[in-house]
Chains A and B, each alone.
Chain A
Amino acid sequence: MNGVLEFPMRHEDHLRGAHLGEKLHELLDGELTRPEQENALAHLSECDACAAEHDRLAETLTALRGLGEARAPRGFSSRVLRRTRAHRRGRLRLVAHLRAPYEVAVVVLLAAALAVLVMGQTFGWGEGRFEWTEPPPTTGIKNP
């Protein structure tokens, strides 16, 4: 290939063997202006390489469009809606759990108390500061 054609196309472009390149796609997409389209078609009538590439691309586009419109299978939307409903119910159950602050608070407090007890036992917190004392003797005390 000796270069890509610029529009407007000149006779020298043909002589130096320039090709349509990207313009081929624009031609197939119908994006060229009328004069550009005429220039491109004139080139195609003279350039075997561009004509062959044009045919190949046109066949490819025809084949792609011929794949036909794929449609969602029967019952697709019902299946999706069932799944979203199940997802929503699951979320609501979670929210319902979170909406029981009393139960959550009791569990957290119990866990905290247990943790403090275990830590106290482990590290011996409070040793020597609090001592259990004998109850005072009751004998010999006179009642007023």
Chain B
Amino acid sequence: MASEASTVSLPVGVLDDPEDPSEDGGPPPDRAGLFERIFLRRLRRGDQRAFADLVKQHQDRVYSLCLRMLGDAAEAEDLSQEVFLAVHRHLPRFRGECRLSTWIFRVTRNHCLNRIKSAERRGATERAAQVDTEPVLSEGAPEPDKALLGAEERRRVQAALARLSAEHRLLVVLRDIEGLSYEDVARIAELPAGTVKSRLHRARSALARLLAAEGMAPDGAVAGGRS
């Protein structure tokens, strides 16, 4: 309906509220939940404007997850497009058992893990040398200052990340780079929260050892080999 299209928009940062009662079948859904239901109805009807809104809402997070998981900008963009095509194709089958953003992250996670597995099968496990570390500017306001580390430091961190297992990397990216809560990470990874914590702690420790071996100085700068 045109009135819906003009008045209803998906609330920003739907992952910010982990206490979504609609997930546990508890009390009636909150306002954000209602907005999402209406938005979902538009999407299921094939409303292209709603889908365009969906892409704009989630493109940065989907792309960011793909980039951190794969370590290559071109491949990350290609995979992000695949993710949204899959979302578009499977939206009619989405029953709303979790939030839309959680579902999109799950689709992204599955695509990333599948891509990494097939790359491993092709023998292309080590991507560190090809990591595209340049800050990527958005369609909207470019914010190059957001990339806090220098190119060399970013390359080192990304290279260390690439040496973690894909499952461990996923948890580190979601929690420590994307800044999601443990509850959201658990929902996306489809793991119990306790398992997420223990695996994440192991992953962080492994990453810390890798970075220490690379020679990261306490202030985040790279020690040795750089002036």
Contacts and interface: CB of A to CB of B under 8 A. Distances in A.
A63 B48 contact: no
B207 interface: yes
A64 B212 contact: no
Contacts of A144: none
B208 A60 contact: yes
Nearest to B52: A81
A25 B48 contact: no
Contact of A70 (B64, B89, B216): B64
Interface in A48-77: 53, 55-57, 59-77
A71 B149 contact: no
Contacts of B85: 80, 83-84, 87
A71 B137 contact: yes
Given A63-B153, A83-B81, A57 B63 contact: no
Interface residues on B, range: 35 or more
B159 to A, nearest CB: 12
A4 to B, nearest CB: 12
A74 B220 contact: no
B227 to A, nearest CB: 19
B201 A84 contact: no
Interface in B170-195: 172, 176-177, 179
Contact of B51 (A25, A59, A84): A84
Contact of A59 (B63, B158, B172, B216): B216
A97 interface: no
A22 interface: yes
B205 interface: yes
A34 interface: no
A73 B77 contact: yes
A11 interface: no
A144 to B, nearest CB: 76
B208 A67 contact: no
A79 interface: yes
Interface string A21-44: 010010000000000000000000
Contact of A69 (B51, B64, B220): B64
A63 B88 CA distance: 35
A70 B63 contact: yes
A127 to B, nearest CB: 55
Interface stretch (B34-42, B54-62, B104-112): B54-62
Interface of A: 22, 25, 53, 55-57, 59-77, 79-81, 83-85, 87
18 contacts: A25-B201, A56-B209, A59-B216, A61-B176, A62-B220, A63-B211, A63-B216, A63-B220, A64-B157, A64-B177, A66-B149, A67-B148, A67-B154, A70-B64, A70-B68, A72-B59, A80-B80, A81-B51
Given A57-B205, A69-B64, A73-B136, 5 more contacts: A59-B211, A61-B204, A65-B177, A68-B149, A72-B63
